[in-house]
Chains A and B, each alone.
Chain A
């Protein structure tokens, strides 16, 4: 089935909990999504909603203890990564699924020359000797647009600027032609002009190499520019999952709508911004109903009682909201709120 739909990665009901002294933090609490070949999936959401934990769970890089994948499957080309032995998992990491992290300043080993760090990944997964791997590393640096790559390969991370380090990270991630690239906020730490360079680079390389990309970000602008589909996360859940165009044109979940409304925009003048009142529930004590209910301007009784399912919509998007179910009374007219 994976081959037919060209779905390479499928996450089903993934749950990752943290067991701490303060209690159990349900950081990721039942996530479903799938990624097709050549597709870019955006995951957006506010800080702490579980974006990073989701991506780390896929590669089983959760710090254990206190973290633990409590349930669900991560099907990569039909194999469940959650139950794979460690040695098998290592073969996949960096080879078939790679990852780029948010902090280019701290994500590279400070005492190892960058070329060697790339070569290490190559040698781990491809039958190459040291010299070949090094040559390939230089090629990769060239590919991500680092000038004089031979020289740079011998340098240590502190000698490179933030943008260059992020390019190195990308080179490393792509060195084994992965089928899936997970980019966890790859540009948040960078200046806009550099961010533009990096995003452009990822787009180019994806087109060239044809991998599936999971782009994690909190910047809706980045999503709009790079992604085919978007998953919006809120408090450990996906609340809306839709093709990018649909999501921006016609956001369905009240949270998504509020989010878009509260965003000041570069190409638009507004006197006042919409605000989402209240705050995210603590991941240690999630309400039993809809997690957004306490902040939702339309919430009805049912929202407080039971969590809604992720409901498929006619336009192909999915949304986790009672509003789109038969239980909805529609007592509060929504037009008064947003338009």
Chain B
């Protein structure tokens, strides 16, 4: 599906009236960035500042999440393990350093250097070497064939950093990013705001606005009130429940974009009673997913049919999760001899997730399963899932690269138990083999076939209950137009305009 900004066409007209360039764009957000060094960023609020604003990668996804040239003009796969990129010329970093193959090499060498201790290193571990062929040509030599390479290069971690800044003071990059993007970092008042100004020497199309300020406003209601009164322009973290209010408002509008992530109810498949596939299936049959989408999410997002969203490479329409069928569920429970079940449901403290947990709790009551909800803050959540202390849990998988491998390998492969992502502690040698095969397969159709098949296996074994394909929403005051949300929930400001 095409994910255009629903409000965009109207806004374009407004912009066409001509009174539109310049100005400071105020973006309000839930939380502050933690770091601005792409190699250390692990959270969206931080990444959002850099992505396609301060830093750019060799390639970038477009609105349909198809990868397009960015700093790289073109590329080819020389063999299974060698990729070659031709770079654009005449580009300089914000600190004046020229962009060339050496810069690319420097960036990735730092990322891959164990001494850097980048939490993102693992993701790029298939890269054996980055080889400078000439100033505008660079080769990536891989350990093993890795089809989704482009997708990880397009992620925010793949941003190319100024080699000058890297050589001088890499520590400083945490607070002061230096890239090639359309915006230059200006200042960061911790906990309060981060501001960027327009890069007047930008190699591509320069942004319309002079400046963008990301302000931290933790309270949801306050953020929206600021949009409503025009104190701020864009709020990209909107509670789904406010949609009607935004749509009804005279001063606000809504932007929606399909996402890459999928939200699901996961089972710890090694913990009794969930180690019994019948119990898992019973629960899967007892959950009425549609009502969660409409009731909890206010129809933001679509019903998921696997752990991959339609935007992810590897998605198939054909995978089928368990039908809502209470009788079947009860029957399965009986078969399993599991009566008076008491199961805990772990979730992080995100509001929608808590709501969802409550709904699941109430739905499972229908088959006599008593659910105890455990709400913990995100850090504890991660720890608990990493250490396998949990029974059921609600989580989402970001699919940051938009490729099925990132999804399947991390979520379901035996090698990924625990922190790497497989908190189901699911282990199926057949599935493992298929995932490995898909990873090395270069024929896209074949990969798609493998993914469809393995995804159905996982659903049949009731490892999880897919709930929702993400949809990102943002509210903006009617005087802004031209921005969009990409599928990974980054705010894209290339066309943004502020009307007076």
A and B in contact, CB less than 8 Å = no
User: B residues bordering A, Cβ < 8 Å?
Assistant: none
